[in-house]
Amino acid sequence: MILLVRTDATHPDFVALVQLLDADLAQRDGEDHAYYHQFNTIDKLKQVVVAYENNVAVGCGALKPFGADAMEVKRMYVSPAHRGKGIAAAILTALESWATELGATRCVLETGKKQLEAMALYRKSGYKVIPNYDQYAGLENSVCFEKVIA
């Protein structure tokens, strides 16, 4: 059974999972990693979900305010040994519910073109590709998504 816990960016399990995520992204992104990394600091994230299986932290995700009516989904990760169990979808659903509680009407996010499993998850979860926003505009390796949640 998967347990989802709401917390913030100071939670040690979230910090540890983000370290694993960053190591994974450094491999996938190669030389582009340093550019993307500057937009993925966690110190100001106040809405974090950590997923546990058998009391072990196996996945995470977070929200960041994005404009007046949206939240940006950040730092989505599930450890490789626990993928394929629906954990990422459960985290994403929990984040969307939290965003709705906070008054958001949509969620946006950015992922890399090399993260095929992430793009598949977002499409399956009802996200639509949108023009790359803000710091991702014009970046060939980025794909931005949006989902209306309210």
**CA dist., res. 4 & res. 58, Å (int):** 10
**CA dist., res. 111 & res. 118, Å (int):** 7
What is the value of pTM for the model shown? 0.93
pLDDT, tens digit (0-9, with 9 covering 90-100), for 91-107: 999 999 999 999 999 99
Residue 22's pLDDT is: 87
pLDDT, tens digit (0-9, with 9 covering 90-100), for 4-56: 999 999 999 999 999 999 888 877 666 665 666 666 678 889 999 999 999 99
Within 10 Å of residue 50's Cβ, how many Cβ atoms? 22
Domains of the chain: 2-148 (3.40.630.30)
